[in-house]
Chains A and B, each alone.
Chain A
Amino acid sequence: MTRPRVAFFSFGSCEGCQLQVLSVEDSLLELFGAIEVVNFREAMDDRRDDYEIACVEGSVIRPEDVTEIRQIRTRARILVALGACACLGGVNAIRNRRALADVAGEVYGGRQDGVFEALAASPISSVVQVDYEIRGCPIDRAEFLDAVRSLLAGTVPYTPAYAVCVQCTLRGTPCLLERGVPCIGAVARAGCEAICPAYGAPCEACRGFHDAPNFTALGEAFARAGMPREQAAAKLQLFNDYREVRAAWERALPSPSDT
């Protein structure tokens, strides 16, 4: 069997999802035996362009990112988006609500030329067609390996269609929302084993939404728990504020008060 040729690329991100790939310690050598990695700047010198599968981390931010992702799309038979920045825009998109000149002015004292140039932070799918998405901030190591196995077998990688609340219940974690913690697991896509509530932090929907999110009901649940409905919107902003992503929740909830 010939091994599929795979390339890894990163755009505006922390490269934490690629680190997750390198952190599959028990399976890394097996993984590198099952696929032929031909381009992975963070880990290797080789950079060949004859890849069949491209795994892309990060948001499109700079003008040259647009050119580069289009080129990757023409070369790759299958394009996989890795992580919240690539799939949703992630935290990068929070600043899109503000004028870029204003944002750059605050950080660089007004420099926007050359290496400082930036566009609205956008998910990969805003520029090119994405075939599969591996969600999460960061991606889950086991889920990444499952996706590789599916692609090797010629099947579609599995993504749960249900809410994080389901996995919280299965895990036996007491409900954070009922205790007045601003958790939005009820609208969030599962697959993470509800790890954040288990370690004492509310779900912030880093995997985006499940197939049937009810944002009006989320606002009402916040109100019942003694929190303003705006607070649900503020939480939704964290990973899901890119304009096409936020369209899903914007009409159902009052604007977060901090914008």
Chain B
Amino acid sequence: MGASAAVSVRHLTRVEGHGNIVVDVRDGVLTRCDLEIVEAPRFFEVLLKGRPAEEAARIACRICGICSVGHATASIHAVEAALGIMPGPKLRLLRRLNMAGEWLQSHVLHLGFLVAPDAFGAGSVVPLAASHPDLVKGALRLKRLANNICMAVSGRHVMPISYHPGWMGHWPEPAELEALRFSLAEAAPDLDALVDVFSQITWPSLARPAEHVAVLEAGAYPMMGGALHSTAGRMTPPAAYASVLQEYVVDHSAAKHVRGPGGDGSGKGGGTIRVGALARISLASDRLHPRAAVALQRLRLAPDSANPFDNIAAQVVESVQAHAEAVSAVEALLADPVSEGPAEATRAGGEGIGIVEVPRGTLVHHYEIAADGRIARANCLIPTAQNLASIEADMRAFVPGLLDRPKDEITHALEMLVRAYDPCISCAVH
């Protein structure tokens, strides 16, 4: 006779969207280990159908409040690929600046508001603000900076406004860029303190190898596109994304699961993939900005880590990376603040794929645009959906080592594991 345990968490807190943890161990045998995704489907692929391609980015960004700039970017890339539009280098840089703002906003929200309470025994940021005011106030200042970056580029962070195929509806004024340069410089001590706080936290240790995937562009830290690379040594062109990220429907999740090409193909154990901050560092730690590389050292984060909890430290490193990216983008735009003219469409319709790295991992938007300029077919593949099979495989690997603990501790450990992935559940279901 082995141990028995039953864990049931309805609507896991401090994550975006609605998910339940259901674990059942009977006489030492794990009979159930699910992350149920019970979020309402909104059917965005259907909402996009029939709409003019010009509207796509503004509709797609409504998939997710936290990663709306990421959705706008993947969407506009898909439309531009379909219509044969080649955006110029300054336009691409401006959009990269906005993505850096969103990475910083999303990572700091997760680190300071959603996971830090676990490290300091608080239930939320409210008691944490009393016990660790410097941490919370610093996180709020970094979040405000991130919001201000996005406001300068696209009017606001949640639901960015200015994305059009081939152009941006707003070009930041030199005064806006000067203000950003000043507040970016001012934020350096807060970032340093963030690294310091998180380098002193020890998270549980769980080594479960999975294939880490990210899109890598030439000569830059992964963010704005490129081929799909994986730690299994695979390199896949964007057009073949569906062979690396294979979607399938499971009974207990309104979000589809995704399996990689490796393993036994069942999605259980073998073939699981991870995307997100840790996956990007696994594949591109040599491309980190020198300041982010120092943060990696200070956090003692091994780039080849197979511990999903290390995604938290990876997000700290990427917060520094996003800040450094924003600094250099602002400098480059200030050096040459004249807006770039629009890039024109070279065909009326066609098929286009946009793949970018958003805070939680690889995001795909794939559209077919008809000759009348309307979207005929859309497919969106969300990072959290790609991680779901891995989260469950991690839970299965984690539970046996927890069974000698009280039920409350088992529950909290599993909650922390799921949170480490920073799941965005509304987005995963869309």
Q: Chain A interface (Cβ within 8 Å of chain B)? A: 10-20, 22-23, 25-26, 28-29, 32, 37, 40-47, 58-59, 61-62, 65, 90-92, 94-95, 98, 103-104, 106-109, 111, 114-116, 118, 121, 137-138, 195-196, 198-201, 204, 234, 238, 258-259
Name the A residues within 8 Å of B141 (CB-CB).
Answer: 25
Instruction: Please indicate which of the listed interface residues B136, B158, B169 has the most CB atoms of chain A within 10 Å of its own CB.
Output: B158
Shortest C-beta distance, B34 to chain A (Å), equals 11
Instruction: Please indicate which of the listed interface residues B40, B51, B129 has the most CB atoms of chain A within 10 Å of its own CB.
Output: B40
Name the A residues within 8 Å of B46 (CB-CB).
Answer: 94-95, 98, 103, 106-107
Name the B residues within 8 Å of A201 (CB-CB).
Answer: 58, 161-162, 164, 169
Name the B residues within 8 Å of A15 (CB-CB).
Answer: 16-17, 65-66, 426
A200 touches B161 (CB 8 A): yes
Cβ of B365 within 8 Å of any chain A Cβ, yes or no, is no
Tell me the nearest residue of chain A to B12, going by C-beta: A41
A16 touches B45 (CB 8 A): no
Tell me the nearest residue of chain B to A36, going by C-beta: B126
Q: How far is the CA of A234 from the CA of B51 in the complex (A)?
A: 8
Name the B residues within 8 Å of A32 (CB-CB).
Answer: 126, 129
Tell me the nearest residue of chain B to A45, going by C-beta: B123
Shortest C-beta distance, A23 to chain B (Å), equals 6
Cβ of B6 within 8 Å of any chain A Cβ, yes or no, is no
Question: Apart from A26-B140, A32-B126, A92-B42, what are 12 other A-B pairs with CB-CB below 8 Å?
Answer: A14-B62, A14-B427, A18-B65, A29-B137, A41-B14, A44-B123, A58-B40, A65-B40, A107-B41, A107-B43, A115-B253, A195-B161
Name the A residues within 8 Å of B45 (CB-CB).
Answer: 106-107
Selected interface stretch from B23-31, B149-157, B233-241, B384-392: B149-157
Task: Scan residues 1-51 of chain B and give those whose CB is less than 8 A from a CB of chain A.
Answer: 11, 13-18, 36-43, 45-47, 50-51
Shortest C-beta distance, B325 to chain A (Å), equals 21
Name the B residues within 8 Å of A115 (CB-CB).
Answer: 36-38, 251-254
A46 touches B169 (CB 8 A): no
Shortest C-beta distance, A179 to chain B (Å), equals 12
B65 touches A118 (CB 8 A): no
Name the B residues within 8 Å of A111 (CB-CB).
Answer: 249
Encode B40-80 as 1/0 by CB contact (under 8 A) with A: 11110111001110010011001111101000000000000
**What 8 A-B pairs come out closest when comparing CB atoms?**
A200-B169, A16-B65, A44-B124, A61-B40, A12-B40, A45-B123, A199-B155, A199-B161
Specify which of B42, B58, B126 is in contact with A44 (CB 8 Å cutoff): B126
Name the B residues within 8 Å of A198 (CB-CB).
Answer: 155, 170
Q: How far is the CA of A26 from the CA of B13 in the complex (A)?
A: 24
Cβ of B343 within 8 Å of any chain A Cβ, yes or no, is no
Provide 20 A-B residue pairs closer than 8 Å at the C-beta atoms, listed in order of the A residue.
Answer: A11-B40, A14-B62, A16-B68, A16-B159, A19-B65, A19-B109, A25-B140, A25-B141, A29-B129, A41-B13, A41-B14, A42-B15, A45-B13, A45-B14, A95-B46, A95-B47, A106-B45, A114-B252, A195-B161, A199-B155
Cβ of B125 within 8 Å of any chain A Cβ, yes or no, is yes
Tell me the nearest residue of chain A to B160, going by C-beta: A199
Task: Scan residues 97-155 of chain B and give those whose CB is less than 8 A from a CB of chain A.
Answer: 109, 113-114, 117, 123-126, 129, 136-137, 140-141, 143-144, 147, 154-155
Q: How far is the CA of A58 from the CA of B17 in the complex (A)?
A: 11
Name the B residues within 8 Å of A238 (CB-CB).
Answer: 55, 59
Instruction: Please indicate which of the listed interface residues A32, A41, A90 has the most CB atoms of chain B within 10 Å of its own CB.
Output: A41
Encode B156-191 as 1/0 by CB contact (under 8 A) with A: 111101101000111000000000000000000000
Encode B226-258 as 1/0 by CB contact (under 8 A) with A: 000000000000000000000001011110100
Name the B residues within 8 Å of A23 (CB-CB).
Answer: 143, 147, 157-158
Tell me the nearest residue of chain B to A231, going by C-beta: B52
Tell me the nearest residue of chain A to B141, going by C-beta: A25
B143 touches A25 (CB 8 A): yes
Tell whether A42 pairs with B14 under 8 Å between CB atoms, given A98-B46, A200-B169.
Answer: yes
Cβ of B374 within 8 Å of any chain A Cβ, yes or no, is yes
A16 touches B66 (CB 8 A): yes
B65 touches A17 (CB 8 A): yes
Q: How far is the CA of A95 from the CA of B170 in the complex (A)?
A: 31
A19 touches B62 (CB 8 A): no
Name the B residues within 8 Å of A118 (CB-CB).
Answer: 40-41, 43
Name the A residues within 8 Å of B168 (CB-CB).
Answer: 200
